[in-house]
A and B are shown apart, each in its own frame.
Chain A
Amino acid sequence: MRNKKIYIGLCVIMALTLLAEILFAEPHFHMPWHELAGADILIGFGGAWLLILLAKKIMAFALQRREDYYEGNGGEDDA
Chain B
Amino acid sequence: MRTMLSDFLQPGLILIISGLLLLLLPAALRRAVQIAGPLLTLAAVLLVLGREPESGAPVQLGADLAESGVLTVIFALIFALIALVAAIYNLHEKNRYELAVEAVYAGSSISVVFAEHWIGMLIFWELMAVASWLIVVSSRTVAARRAGFRYLLVHMLGGNLLLAGIVIKLSQGEAAIEMLSVSMDAASWLILAGVAVNAAIPPLNAWIADAYPESTMGGTVYMGSYTTKVGVFCLIRLFAGTELLLYFGVFMAVYGVCMALIENDLRRLLSYHIVSQVGYMVAALAMGGELGVDGASAHAFNHILYKGTLLMCAGAVIKATGLRKITDLHRLGGLAHVMPVTAVCFLISSLAIAGFPLLNGFVSKALIMNAAAGGGYHWAELLLLLASVGTFMSVTLKINYFVFFGRGESEDAQPAEGALTGEGVRPGEASLPLNMKLAMIAGATACVVTGLFPGLVYGLTPFGSDGHPFTVDHVTQYIGMFAGAALVFVMYIRHMEPAAKLTLDTDWLYRKPLKYAFWWLCRTVDGVRLFLGGKIGAFCTRAVEYLHDPRRLLKAKPRPARDCLEDDDVLQKPVGWLIALTFAILLAATFYVLIRLG
Beta-carbon contact of B481 and A44 below 8 Å: yes
Contact A55 B374 (CB under 8 A): no
Of residues 392 through 409 on chain B, the ones whose CB sits less than 8 Å from some CB of chain A are: 393
Contact across chains for A44 and B510 when beta carbons are under 8 A apart: no
Instruction: Assess the A24–B472 pair: CB atoms within 8 A.
Output: yes
Contact status A21-B480, CB under 8 Å: yes
- List B contacts of A20 (CB < 8 A): 472, 476
Q: Please, which residues of chain B bring their CB within 8 A of the CB of A26? A: 471-473
How many residues of B are counted as interface, with CB atoms below 8 angstroms from the partner's CB atoms? 53
Chain A residues near B503 (CB-CB < 8 A): 59-60, 63-65
A79 within 8 A of B: yes
Contact among A31, A47, A68 with B389 in the assembled complex (CB-CB below 8 Å): A47
A40 and B477 contact, CB distance less than 8 A: yes
Total CB contacts across the A-B interface at under 8 A: 171
With beta carbons under 8 angstroms apart, the residue of A11, A13, A43, A64 that contacts B382 is A43
Among B476, B495, B505, point to the contact of A21 (Cβ < 8 A): B476
B380-424 vs A, CB cutoff 8 Å, 1 = contact: the mask equals: 011001100110010000000000000000000000000000000
The docked-state distance in angstroms from the alpha carbon of A16 to that of B496 is 27
**What 0/1 readout, one digit per residue, does chain A (40-79) give for beta carbons within 8 Å of chain B?**
1111111111111011100110011111111000000111
Q: Does B585 contact A (CB under 8 A)?
A: no
Proximity string of chain B (509-541) to chain A, C-beta cutoff 8 Å, 1 when within and 0 when not: 011101100000000000000000000000000
Chain B residues with CB under 8 Å of A60's CB are 262, 499, 501, 503
B386 CB, nearest partner CB in chain A, Å = 5
Query: Once bound together, how far apart are the Cα atoms of A78 and B79, in whole Å?
Result: 34
Q: B489 touching A48 by the CB < 8 A rule?
A: yes
Q: Are the CB atoms of A44 and B262 closer together than 8 Å?
A: no
In the complex where A13-B479, A60-B262 touch, is A21 in contact with B473 (Cβ < 8 A)?
Answer: yes
Interface residues of B in 475-503 (CB under 8 A from A): 476-490, 492, 495-496, 499-503
With an 8 A cutoff between CB atoms, is B548 at the interface?
no
Establish whether residues A70 and B502, one from each chain, have CB atoms under 8 Å apart when the complex forms.
yes
The answer to whether A47 touches B473 (Cβ under 8 A) is: no
Task: Closest B residue to A29 by CB, please name it.
Answer: B373
Which of B381, B385, B477, B511 sits near A70, CB closer than 8 Å? B511
Q: Evaluate contact between B484 and A43: CB separation under 8 angstroms.
A: yes
In the bound complex, CA of A24 to CA of B487 (Å): 25
In the complex, what residues of A have CB within 8 A of residue B476's CB? 17-18, 20-21, 25, 40
B96 within 8 A of A: no
Give Cα A54–Cα B262 distance, bound, in whole angstroms. 10
Check B487 against A55 for contact (C-beta < 8 Å): no
Within 8 A of A (CB), among B240-269: 257-259, 261-262
Q: Give the complex CA separation of A14 and B485 in angstroms.
A: 11
- Tell me which residues across on chain A come within 8 A of B499, comparing CB atoms: 60, 64
- Report if A51-B393 is in contact (Cβ < 8 Å); known contacts: A3-B490, A18-B480, A28-B373: yes
Chain A contacts for B258, CB-based, 8 A: 51, 54-55, 59
A55 CA to B496 CA, complexed, in Å: 10
A2 to chain B, nearest CB (A): 10
How far, in Å, is A51 (CB) from chain B's closest CB? Answer: 5
Contact (A28, B261) CB under 8 Å given A41-B481, A47-B386:
no
Q: Which residue of B lies closest to A77 (CB)?
A: B146
- Write out the residue numbers on chain B whose beta carbons fall within 8 Å of the beta carbon of A55: 257-259, 261-262, 390
Which of chain B's residues have a CB closer than 8 A to the CB of A33? 382
Report whether B472 and A14 are in contact in the complex, using a CB–CB cutoff of 8 Å.
no
**A56 adjacent to B481 (CB under 8 Å):** no
Q: How far is the CB of A43 from chain B (nearest CB, A)?
A: 6
Q: Please, which residues of chain B bring their CB within 8 A of the CB of A11?
A: 487
User: In the complex, are the beta carbons of A48 and B393 less than 8 A apart?
Assistant: yes
B474 interface contact, C-beta 8 A: yes
Q: Which residues of B contact A79 (CB under 8 A)?
A: 146, 150, 510-512, 514-515
B370 within 8 A of A: yes
Q: From A69, which residue of chain B is reached at the shortest CB distance?
A: B502
- Establish whether residues B386 and A51, one from each chain, have CB atoms under 8 Å apart when the complex forms: yes
B389 near A48 with CB under 8 A, answer yes
| Contact with B485, one of A34, A44, A78 (Cβ below 8 angstroms) | A44
CB distance from A57 to the nearest CB of B (A): 9
Contacts of A52 in B (CB 8 A): 261, 393, 488, 492, 495-496
Contact partner, B472, options A3, A25, A69, Cβ 8 Å: A25
Cβ B389 vs Cβ A43 within 8 A: yes
Nearest CB of chain A from residue B264's CB, rounded to whole Å: 9
**Which of B479, B480, B492, B503 has the largest count of A CB atoms less than 10 A from its CB?**
B480
How near does chain B come to A18, taking the closest CB pair, in angstroms? 7
Which residues of B have CB within 8 Å of A45?
484-485, 487-488
Docked CA distance A20–B136 (Å):
49
Q: Could you tell me if B480 and A49 are in contact, using CB atoms closer than 8 angstroms?
A: no
Q: Does B425 interact with chain A (Cβ within 8 Å)?
A: no
A48–B484 contact, CB under 8 A? yes
How far is B487's CA from A41's CA once the two chains are assembled, in angstroms? 10
Report yes or no: A10 in contact with B472, Cβ–Cβ below 8 A.
no
- Quick one: given A66-B501, A67-B500, A77-B146, are A28 and B483 in contact (CB under 8 Å)? no
Contacts of A44 in B (CB 8 A): 389, 480-485, 488
List, in ascending order, chain B residues with CB within 8 A of A29's CB.
370, 373-374
A-B contact pairs, 11 of them (CB 8 A): A14-B480, A20-B476, A32-B378, A40-B385, A40-B476, A45-B488, A55-B259, A63-B504, A70-B502, A78-B146, A79-B512
Interface residues of A, Cβ cutoff 8 Å to B: 3, 6-7, 10-11, 13-14, 17-18, 20-21, 24-34, 38, 40-52, 54-56, 59-60, 63-70, 77-79
18 A-B pairs besides A14-B483, A32-B378 with CB distance below 8 A are A13-B483, A21-B476, A21-B477, A24-B472, A25-B472, A28-B373, A28-B474, A31-B373, A40-B478, A45-B487, A48-B393, A48-B487, A51-B390, A52-B492, A52-B496, A59-B259, A65-B501, A66-B501
Q: Shortest 5 CB-CB distances between A and B: which pairs? A: A44-B484, A29-B373, A44-B481, A45-B484, A48-B488
